C-alpha cells in the first residue's frame, strides 16, 4: 500500500505537483521532499526574466519524458513555491519517476 503524498494529486487534466524551487544552484536536479507539502527542485538558472521557470519546465519535461508545452505553472510564477500541472500524466508514473531520482542517493 502506497502512502498518500501531499505534494502530488490527480486532476481532471492530468497530475498536479507542488514544488519548492531553488534557483541559481550548481546543477538542475530533483532533491527530495521539502517539508510535507512540496518536492524540492534545484535549477541552475537565475530567478530573472523567467529563466528559472524555463529551466524548471525543461528539467521536468526531460525527466518525465513529456513535451514542455504540456507543463503549466498554475501558481507561483514569481515565487519559489509553485503548483505545476502536468497535462495528460498519471500520478503513479510521475510519483514513481520523481521519487526514484532522490532515493538513489
**CATH number, domain with residue 14:** 3.30.1200.10
pTM above 0.95, yes or no: no
In a domain, 19, yes or no: yes
Residue 104's pLDDT band (cuts 50, 70, 90): low
Left, alpha or beta for 23 (phi > 0: left; psi -120 to 50: alpha)? Answer: beta
In a domain, 45, yes or no: yes
What is the per-residue pLDDT for 103? 64
| Separation of alpha carbons 11 and 88, rounded Å | 9
**Residue 83 confidence (pLDDT) above 80:** yes
In a domain, 66, yes or no: yes
Supply the range of the domain harboring residue 59: 8-103
In a domain, 1, yes or no: no
| Separation of alpha carbons 28 and 41, rounded Å | 7
Q: What is the mean pLDDT of the chain?
A: 92
In a domain, 3, yes or no: no
Total structural domains in the chain?
1
Amino acid at each position: 500500500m502506497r502512502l498518500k503524498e501531499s505534494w502530488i494529486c490527480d486532476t481532471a487534466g492530468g497530475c498536479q505537483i507542488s514544488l519548492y524551487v531553488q534557483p541559481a544552484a550548481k546543477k538542475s536536479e530533483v532533491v527530495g521532499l521539502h517539508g510535507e507539502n512540496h518536492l524540492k527542485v534545484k535549477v541552475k538558472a537565475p530567478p530573472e526574466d523567467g529563466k528559472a521557470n524555463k529551466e524548471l519546465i525543461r528539467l521536468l519535461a526531460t525527466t518525465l519524458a513529456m513535451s514542455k508545452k504540456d507543463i503549466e505553472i498554475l501558481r507561483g510564477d514569481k515565487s519559489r513555491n509553485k503548483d505545476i500541472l502536468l497535462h495528460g500524466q498519471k500520478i503513479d508514473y510521475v510519483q514513481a519517476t520523481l521519487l526514484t531520482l532522490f532515493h538513489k542517493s
